[in-house]
């Protein structure tokens, strides 16, 4: 794989949510990632039927080894991979990797330069560290969930983007790359503790600053960026579709009023929160007079800070996304392309998930000798070489 991380080797312990997302980001950027998968139990129900198929987008561009980690030989094989790795990432509850005999002390003992990345909801220590949870629980504790939604209604979950992927997976990927850069200078690895509750709190840095300055209300829907302001929100159109307005700066706000034909003097009080509810109602009534496409023809591409609200089938077809190649089709599955982009070390097109090479080929590509591969095959850890 080409990309800025070409030559970096990563061992990924299979999981769901933030860990595979981080490993996808690393693989997208050219890292050689081996995913250690669990051996399937015959007849066991699969709660995530896309796993192991081409539809498991977050598993793209990886080699996979299915191992029974309760076997001594399987643990030995993982440690052999660790010996040649730059990074290991895992997303188990604290203590699981230690019980498997693959904790940080063991792995760093085998490879002192290893960066050992751990992502959990609550972190490696603290009163809640052993409690189960999901994205919604972690962002609830960060203070960010309480800020989302309309006044007088329960907070709205922002899908699982804020905890799992923004506060978890991206923070893990950022953390292990930071530690890998430091290891090149120091020759020493370390453990990276990426907690989703920490990451979600970090994503809220600006909001916490605004709150401290007295510029953010704890009431949902009463602030400039949470739908309280008429110039920052979504509106229904005549056809039942929606548009998004974000005209914060005065010059962009004036452009919106001019293009939309608004000459009501009440709109001059843009930054008066007392006026926001009434101005939102007025703007909502105006937006309902045209279809989404008609508003696009009038406002899209201007400095009115306007965009149509596209669904996940429409977004890949939009002219801007199409021109930039923001989405790609891999084996019939439309998915986001690798991001960000690099001028000199561009990433390759991702490989489809669910199409692993043979275990022997995976290990050979990692640098294991034929003799070692045969030894693991002879112990039943992997299938024999073909």
Judge whether 226 lies within some domain: no
Same domain, 37 and 145: yes
Q: With 80 as the cut, is the pLDDT of residue 42 above it? A: no
Instruction: Residue 51: give its domain's CATH number.
Output: 3.40.50.10540
Rounded to 5°, angle at Cα 363 from 67 and 385: 85
Which residues form the catalytic set? 134, 164
Please tell me the predicted confidence (pLDDT) of residue 44: 64
Q: Does residue 143 lie within any of the structural domains? A: yes
DSSP three-state, residue 242: strand
Taking only the tens place, the pLDDT of each residue in 198-250 is 999 999 999 999 999 999 999 999 999 999 999 999 999 999 999 999 999 99
Q: What is the pLDDT of residue 316?
A: 98
**pLDDT value of residue 233:** 96
- Give the whole-number percent of the chain exceeding pLDDT 90: 90
Tell me: pLDDT of 355 over 80: no
Instruction: Please check whether residue 4 lies inside any domain of the structure.
Output: no
* Same domain? 36 vs 116: yes
- On whether both 62 and 182 belong to a single domain, the answer is yes
53 lies in the same domain as 98: yes
Domain that holds residue 28: 9-203+330-378
Please compute the mean of the pLDDT values over residues 332-354 and round it to a whole number. 94
- Specify the number of domains making up the chain: 2
Q: Is residue 43 pLDDT above 80, yes or no?
A: no
**Is the pLDDT score of 140 beyond 90?**
yes
Q: pLDDT at position 1, please?
A: 75
Q: Are 121 and 243 in the same domain?
A: no
Q: Give Cβ neighbours of residue 199 (< 8 Å, ≥ 6 apart).
A: 163, 166, 167, 168, 170, 171
Q: Is the pLDDT of residue 49 over 90?
A: no
Whether pLDDT at 386 is above 70: no
Are 70 and 198 part of one and the same domain?
Answer: yes
CA–CA separation, 69 vs 118, rounded Å?
18
- DSSP letters of 131-157? S---HHHHHHHHTSGGGSS-TTSPPPP
pLDDT of 46 over the 70 cut: no
Q: Do 54 and 159 lie in a common domain?
A: yes
User: Do residues 242 and 355 both lie within one domain?
Assistant: no
Phi, psi of 267 (to 5 degrees): -70, -10
CATH number for the domain that contains residue 284: 3.30.1540.10
Final residue of a structural domain among 309, 343, 365: 309
In a domain, 215, yes or no: no
* Model confidence at 47: pLDDT above 70: no
User: Would residue 146 count as lying in a domain?
Assistant: yes
Instruction: Please report whether residue 212 resides in a domain.
Output: no
Among candidate residues 309, 344, 367, the one where a domain is terminated: 309
pTM above 0.85, yes or no: yes
Task: Return the pLDDT at 383.
Answer: 78
User: β-strand 242-246 against 306-308: which pairing, if any?
Assistant: antiparallel
Position with higher pLDDT, 39 vs 13: 13
What average pLDDT does this structure show over 286-311?
Answer: 98
Same domain, 373 and 301: no
Q: Structure tokens of 340?
A: 């960000």
In terms of domains, do 40 and 161 share one?
yes
- Of the pLDDT bands very low, low, confident and very high (cuts 50, 70, 90), residue 50 is confident
User: Are 184 and 52 in a shared domain?
Assistant: yes
Tens digit of each residue's pLDDT (9 = 90 or more) over 154-189 = 999 999 999 999 999 999 999 999 999 999 999 999
**Element of type H or E holding 375:** helix 370-378
CB neighbour burial string for 329-341, b if at least 16 within 10 angstroms, e if fewer? ebeebebebbeee
Indicate if 185 and 45 belong to the same structural domain: yes
């Amino acid at each position: 794989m080409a990309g800025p991380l070409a030559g970096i080797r990563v061992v990924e312990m299979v999981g769901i949510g933030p860990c595979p997302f981080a490993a996808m980001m690393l693989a997208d950027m050219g890292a050689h990632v081996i995913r250690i998968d669990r051996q399937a139990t015959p007849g066991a129900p699969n709660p995530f039927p896309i796993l192991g198929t081409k539809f498991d987008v977050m598993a793209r561009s990886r080699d996979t080894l299915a191992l029974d980690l309760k076997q001594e030989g399987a643990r030995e094989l993982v440690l052999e991979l660790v010996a040649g790795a730059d990074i290991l990432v895992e997303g188990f509850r604290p203590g699981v990797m230690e019980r498997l005999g693959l904790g940080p002390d063991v792995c760093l003992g085998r490879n002192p330069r290893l960066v050992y990345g751990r992502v959990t909801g609550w972190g490696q220590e603290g009163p809640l560290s052993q409690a189960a949870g999901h994205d919604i629980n972690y962002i609830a504790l960060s203070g960010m969930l309480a800020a989302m939604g309309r006044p007088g209604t329960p907070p709205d979950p922002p899908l699982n983007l804020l905890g799992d992927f923004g506060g978890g997976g991206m923070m893990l990927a950022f953390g292990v790359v930071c530690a890998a850069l430091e290891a090149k200078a120091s020759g020493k690895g370390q453990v990276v503790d990426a907690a989703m509750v920490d990451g979600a709190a970090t994503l809220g840095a600006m909001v916490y600053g605004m709150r401290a300055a007295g510029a953010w209300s704890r009431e949902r829907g009463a602030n400039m960026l949470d739908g309280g302001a008429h110039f920052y929100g979504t509106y229904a159109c005549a056809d039942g579709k929606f548009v998004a307005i974000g005209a914060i700066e005065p010059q962009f706000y004036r452009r919106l009023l001019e293009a939309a034909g608004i000459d009501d003097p009440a709109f001059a009080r843009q930054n008066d929160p007392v006026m926001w509810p009434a101005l939102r109602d007025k703007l909502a009534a105006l937006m309902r007079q045209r279809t989404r496409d008609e508003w696009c023809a009038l406002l899209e591409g201007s400095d009115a800070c306007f965009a149509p609200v596209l669904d996940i089938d429409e977004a890949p077809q939009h002219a801007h996304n199409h021109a930039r190649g923001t989405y790609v089709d891999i084996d019939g599955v439309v998915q986001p392309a690798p991001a960000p982009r690099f001028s000199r070390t561009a990433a390759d097109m991702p490989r489809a998930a669910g199409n692993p090479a043979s275990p022997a080929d995976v290990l050979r590509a990692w640098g294991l000798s034929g003799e070692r591969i045969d030894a693991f095959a002879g112990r039943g850890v992997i299938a024999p070489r073909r």
